[in-house]
Structure 1
């Protein structure tokens, strides 16, 4: 079994597992994050009724922190994943006592996390690659039965845990 390690002929829009994040195209990600921010504002508006103009400063803060974290992941001489840099920056700018932290928290409070996460999770669930379709074709009808059992088990398990938690707390 030989693995082709020559990635020069293949361009990836997202870093693959094991690929060095320090080679990502920051300009490309700025545009993608801008699109995601607009979708996030719309989903926040639909889910919570919060006017997009009043949520815009909070979304702008999230956008700037994300871009800054990507820049740190790209240019800092030691490696940390971009999600770690973004999280670290977000934590730092919201620490009580840091100048401007109260303002940042007040602006970001206009955003609902679930409203922002829903489109991202939906995309993640729908983003199937050619490899996943090939696996499904090779597995045939058996994988459909396994998938149904997994989904049913997950749903029933979640319902049972929720029922127990509600009975204990009620």
Structure 2
């Protein structure tokens, strides 16, 4: 059976986190940490060696969270495990929490989001191109209007915020 644009799966099928290959994902997370460290340096001027402990903590939380999501007998999404680990590690009174917070303060979390969002915006698959082709030219007009409206709305809000606050 050949795949046409009419019978392509949309790719939003549920991902079972218990099937994630942790080794492969850990390597991808390591690459993301390297890119994040570079982005952090560009935005804050904090060097890689100075940001390494904080970035290492984030990496460790992520990998441990993935492992818990895969091996714990009850289901909790990996993002919840990662958040839970990071929250517990930074609670005042937990041994080492002061050091963890001090190291995490050296990382600009907005600079970590920028490369991830850029990749998300550029990562288009053949499936998505087929869906866009099937949608036709009208989707282009809608997309342009949405982007223009979002941009202009952001400009108005930023202008008002900067004028009055």
Report the TM-score, using the length of structure 2 for normalisation: 0.88
Q: Are 1:26 and 2:22 counterparts?
A: yes
Aligned 1:59-74 pairs, distance under 5 A: 59-74=55-70
Match of 1:107 in 2: 103
- What SS does the corresponding residue of 1:110 show, helix, strand or coil? coil
Match of 2:32 in 1: 36
Listed as ranges, the gaps of 5+ residues in structure 1 are 1-14
Match of 1:165 in 2: 161
Distance 1:167 1:118 in 2: 26
Alignment coverage as a number of residue pairs: 155
Deviation at 1:144, TM superposition (A): 1.6
Listed as ranges, the gaps of 5+ residues in structure 2 are 1-10
Deviation at 1:16, TM superposition (A): 6.1
Q: Are 1:87 and 2:83 counterparts?
A: yes
Greater RCO (Cα-Cα under 8 Å, separation 6 or more): 2
Aligned 1:45-56 pairs, distance under 5 A: 45-56=41-52
RMSD between aligned residues: 1.5
Give every structure 1 segment of 4 or more consecutive aligned residues whose post-TM-superposition deviation is greater than 4 Å. none
